[in-house]
Amino acid sequence: MYSVYPLLLSNLFFIFIFSFYFQSRSLLLPKNAILPLRIQSIQPGSLTKPPKKLYFNHNISLTVTLTVGSPPQPVTMVLDTGSELSYLHCNKTPTTPLSYDALHSTSYTPIPCTSPVCKTRTRDFTLPVSCDQKKLCHVILSYADATSVEGNLAYDTFRFTDSVLPGVIFGCMDTGSSSNQEEDSKSTGLMGLNRGSLSFVTQMGYPKFSYCISGQDSTGVLMFGEFNTTWLKPLSYTPMVNISTPLPYFDRVAYTVQLEGIKVAGTVLPLPKSVYEPDHTGAGQTMIDSGTQFTFLLGPVYTALKNEFLKQTKNVLRVYEDLNFVFQGAMDLCYRVERSRVGLPVLPNVSMMFRGSEMVVSGQKLLFKVGGLTKGSDDVYCFTFGNSDLLGIEAYVIGHHHQQNMWMEFDLVNNRVGFAEISCDSATQKLGIDS
């Protein structure tokens, strides 16, 4: 979930200490640990470091289930590669019926203001951390979708069946606001998986992680570590973009890749490559974000894509002409589709051309049915690319809807992102996980 505020400078000395701390902890990870929702043992085979598996569900958000605290309490967390700090809702309110009870965990340890952790500079902390009345480290996290949470930093033990991770840093949040209370009621918190020093994947200490998302309202798998995937066709890799100089609108711990062009069927949008590159402020980076549902493009690129898609579908789709309707505030290209029709018509593929690789979006992933909206005998479907400018986001964001039925790999050691088309239902079977 993309953070709306500018990047704060990192405390390099603190990051060095934490890197050593997390690397030391990673040596203690069990050799055959597996992460649930549903868990199966992985045969050692050719694994250089046996992976962990998490089985997840998704609708608007991707969620994983694990346990936290002593004794263990089950929690459900949104999987978010766009965020750093993981957090849990730590009290019960009408909008957050799922919560974690810190008072009943003997391993829960709040972090005081005097701790170096409280002085960490991350993009997630939208305001400088402060001390509350109990001299504990108080943080506020805000996101571009208008959600926010606040509470205290703390340590506790996170568990994945036979894996025990003591002293994981997270946010124990007691207040917050939401743009989607119905979805929030299905989760206990958020698992931050970006490249920051406080992210869950950094604290785990694994060199890479992967996930595969099945179709709408379905399931998938999240895996940490190296594993044998001889049944998976070779991944197409694109390097991550790194900028050493701090820039106000560039998130240096995001999974940033370089978008170089977009084409509809065989037609490349007539735009210069420079329109896809970050400017001198860092605005215009391309991030892969599992915490965002759809894909958002900066205004000039979105307009060019919209016009080309309209041109190529004018004979097979009927535009929904309501100037006052913009789906989710950023998607203004929608269509009327007869409810009696079986399936959507054949649509032109949209390809996002990255440096060294290409991600093809086709078929059902191009249009999304708007729930609860009908016009006569028609349903309304909207184009699944939106306009970043309408959301106030100075970036290209590749959401999880367009990652469905793709194996997504985030290789932290080799500084690259890989992907390959696959049936994720088939992948979970290959991995020995029941649907």
pLDDT tens digits, 382-422: 999 999 999 888 999 999 999 999 999 999 999 999 999 99
Could you report the per-residue pLDDT of 71-112, keeping only the tens digit for each? 999 998 889 999 999 999 997 555 555 689 999 999 999 999
For residues 201 and 263, membership in a common domain is answered with no
Q: Which of 398, 283, 198, 413 is nearest to 7 (CA)?
A: 283
User: What stretch of H or E contains 14?
Assistant: helix 12-26
What residues make up the domain containing 103?
A: 12-30+52-205
For residues 316 and 245, membership in a common domain is answered with yes
Nearest-angstrom CA–CA distance, 330 and 384: 10
Q: How many domains does the chain have?
A: 2
Mean pLDDT lowest among 37-46, 63-72, 149-158, 342-351: 37-46
Final residue of a domain: which of 155, 189, 205?
A: 205
| Per annotation, catalytic residue among 80, 145, 156, 251 | 80
- What pLDDT does residue 295 have? 96
For residues 189 and 284, membership in a common domain is answered with no
Known active-site residue 80: yes
Nearest-angstrom CA–CA distance, 167 and 156: 5
Q: Where do we find the tokens 């990192």?
A: 10
Determine, yes or no, domain membership for 39.
Answer: no
| Per annotation, catalytic residue among 145, 184, 251, 289 | 289
Determine, yes or no, domain membership for 190.
Answer: yes
Final residue of a domain: which of 159, 185, 205?
A: 205
The predicted model scores a pTM of 0.84
Determine, yes or no, domain membership for 218.
Answer: no
Could you report the per-residue pLDDT of 326-368, keeping only the tens digit for each? 998 899 999 999 998 888 999 999 999 999 999 999 999 999 9
Tell me the average pLDDT across 52-71. Answer: 73
* 377 or 42: which leads in pLDDT: 377
Q: Which of 345, 341, 275 is nearest to 317 (CA)?
A: 345
For residues 118 and 174, membership in a common domain is answered with yes
For residues 199 and 246, membership in a common domain is answered with no
Q: Are 79 and 63 in contact (CB under 8 A)?
A: yes
For residues 414 and 302, membership in a common domain is answered with yes
For residues 305 and 187, membership in a common domain is answered with no
* φ/ψ bin of 356: left (φ > 0), alpha (ψ from -120 to 50), beta (otherwise): left
Report which DSSP code applies to 344: P
For residues 104 and 242, membership in a common domain is answered with no
Cα distances (Å, whole numbers) of residue 259 to 94, 286, 325? 42, 6, 29
For residues 131 and 249, membership in a common domain is answered with no
- What pLDDT does residue 145 have? 62
**3-state SS class at 337:** strand
- pLDDT surpasses 50 at 17: no
Tokens of 413: 């050691």
* 93 or 44: which leads in pLDDT: 93
**Which positions ≥6 away from 99 have C-beta within 8 Å?**
88, 89, 90, 91, 92, 93, 188
Could you report the per-residue pLDDT of 241-290, keeping only the tens digit for each? 999 888 988 999 999 999 999 999 999 999 999 999 999 999 999 999 99
For residues 192 and 266, membership in a common domain is answered with no
- What pLDDT does residue 44 have? 29
Q: Which of 339, 347, 402, 399 is nearest to 369 (CA)?
A: 339
Determine, yes or no, domain membership for 231.
Answer: no
Residue ranges of alpha helices (H) inside 234-313 are 299-313
Determine, yes or no, domain membership for 121.
Answer: yes
pLDDT band of 50, cuts 50, 70, 90: very low
Known active-site residue 217: no
For residues 259 and 340, membership in a common domain is answered with yes
* 226 or 77: which leads in pLDDT: 77
| CATH number of the domain residue 277 falls in | 2.40.70.10
Determine, yes or no, domain membership for 103.
Answer: yes
Final residue of a domain: which of 163, 187, 205?
A: 205
Nearest-angstrom CA–CA distance, 48 and 31: 10
Our separate counts of H helices and E strands in the chain read 6, 28
Could you report the per-residue pLDDT of 160-205, keeping only the tens digit for each? 766 789 999 999 998 655 444 554 556 789 999 999 989 999 998 8
**Which positions ≥6 away from 370 have C-beta within 8 Å?**
327, 334, 379, 380, 381, 382
- What pLDDT does residue 174 have? 84
* 226 or 111: which leads in pLDDT: 111
For residues 176 and 297, membership in a common domain is answered with no
Tell me the average pLDDT across 370-389. Answer: 94
